[in-house]
Amino acid sequence: MIRWGMLVAAAAYIASGFYVVGSDEKAIVRRFGGIVRGELGSGLHWDLPQPFVVVDRVNVTALHTLSVGAALTTSATLLPDASDRPLLALTGDENILRFRANLQYRVDSETATDYLFRHQHLSEELRSLLEATLIEAVAQSGVDFVLSAGIGPLNSLLTARLKKAAARLEFGIEVDRVTIEAVDPPAPVLADFLDVANARSEAAQAMQLARTYAEQQTTAAGANAQETISRARGESRSVLVAARASARNFELMVDEFQKLAAQGDANHEELRERAVRRLTRELHRDLMTAGVRTWVIDSERPVDLQILRP
């Protein structure tokens, strides 16, 4: 019986060497403290039982979040957490801003060994790296850029730099993204920053209104000018057509009188009288058509007015 009990105990002890690695995990096997098998995939595996072998499992699909900086509303504590310490950065134009940022990352399935064993205080190293990278990036930017449209570009820049740094330092992680959660001036100067921001907003609004008004006036002036040009061109064409018609009629009349003179039907004095009478009749007709009611008959004598009825 004792022998059978020992055999059963030995079998159970050997069977305890079996272990299962989940589909979202990687396993690293350490034998007597040294790594003998790294980054094992999912499935059933066996190795020597404890204490000879230790199996470390790490989830390679979980998204980890690390935060730096404290929000302005965070109350002071005697021993604040690292993520509650204020993160202050000096902009390129020498303005102090207060930041809170998040780093999201996953364990690299190919270098999970580095994640587990290469760095003893990985979270603190990551936090220090994020703070230093953010301070460096902000120092290359102006306060207006950071507070207005700079958050998106800064997030992209920080993400790219953290990815390169994590690979270079062999952290065994894949940086997913860096997000600046909040950026504010320090509390003592917050009111002044708000006043400046409001003044700039009002100035920008006034400039936009001025630009809109100027564009409207320019458009209206252009339309009026185009209308005036079109009207002037139309009038000039009308005057030109009328002038050409008058010139043509005069030429025809001269030709007619020249023919009559050549035929001997009338002398030059008679032809001149005919021409004057004809031109006078045409002038009367034009004046009557235009609705003119007062006509100066003879300007050499005392003015004599005649009322013409159309």
Q: Which two tokens stand for residue 78?
A: 């005697």
| Distance from C-alpha of 73 to C-alpha of 83, rounded to nearest angstrom | 14
Three state DSSP letters for 65-110 = EEEECCCCCCCCCCCCCHHHCCEEEECCCCCEEEEEEEEEEEECCC
CA–CA–CA angle 100, 102, 108 (5° rounding): 160
CA separation for the pair 291, 102 (Å, rounded): 88
Closest CA to 44 of 66, 17, 62: 17
Q: How far apart are CA 200 and CA 207, in angstroms?
A: 10
Q: Work out the number of other CB atoms within 10 angstroms of the CB of residue 35.
A: 13
Q: Which is more confidently placed, 143 or 99?
A: 99
Taking CA atoms, 156 is separated from 28, 63, 92, 208, in Å, by 33, 18, 19, 30
Query: What does the pLDDT read at residue 309?
Result: 38
Give the pLDDT score at 188: 63
Task: For 238-286, write each residue's pLDDT tens digit.
Answer: 888 888 887 887 777 777 777 766 766 666 677 667 777 777 777 667 6
Task: Enter the tokens of residue 22.
Answer: 């989940």
Residue ranges of the alpha helices (H) in the chain? 2-15, 112-113, 122-139, 143-147, 151-168, 190-263, 268-290
Report residue 190's pLDDT band, with 50, 70 and 90 as the boundaries: low
Distance between CA atoms of 69 and 85, rounded to whole angstroms? 5
Q: CA–CA separation, 112 vs 109, rounded Å?
A: 5
Q: What 3-state DSSP class applies to 304? A: coil
| Rounded alpha-carbon distances, angstroms, from residue 288 to 105, 275, 293, 307 | 96, 20, 8, 11
Q: Which of 33-37, 134-138, 156-160 has the lowest mean pLDDT?
A: 33-37
Mean pLDDT of 277-299: 63
Please state whether the predicted TM-score (pTM) of the whole model is above 0.75.
no
Residue 302's CB is within 10 A of a number of other CB atoms, namely: 6
The amino acid that residue 106 corresponds to is R
Q: Is the pLDDT of residue 206 over 70?
A: yes
Burial 244-275 (b: 16+ CB within 10 A, else e): eeeeeeeeebeeebeeeeeeeeeeeeebeeee
Terminal CA-CA length for the chain: 148
| Backbone φ/ψ region at 242: left (φ over 0), alpha (ψ -120 to 50), beta | alpha
φ, ψ at 143 (rounded to 5°): -65, -35
What would the mean pLDDT of 97-126 be, rounded to a whole number?
89
Q: Kindly report the backbone phi and psi dihedral angles of residue 294, in degrees, each rounded to the nearest multiple of 5, phi listed first.
A: -120, 130
**Whole-Å CA distances, 60 to 54, 65, 171, 250:** 19, 14, 14, 104
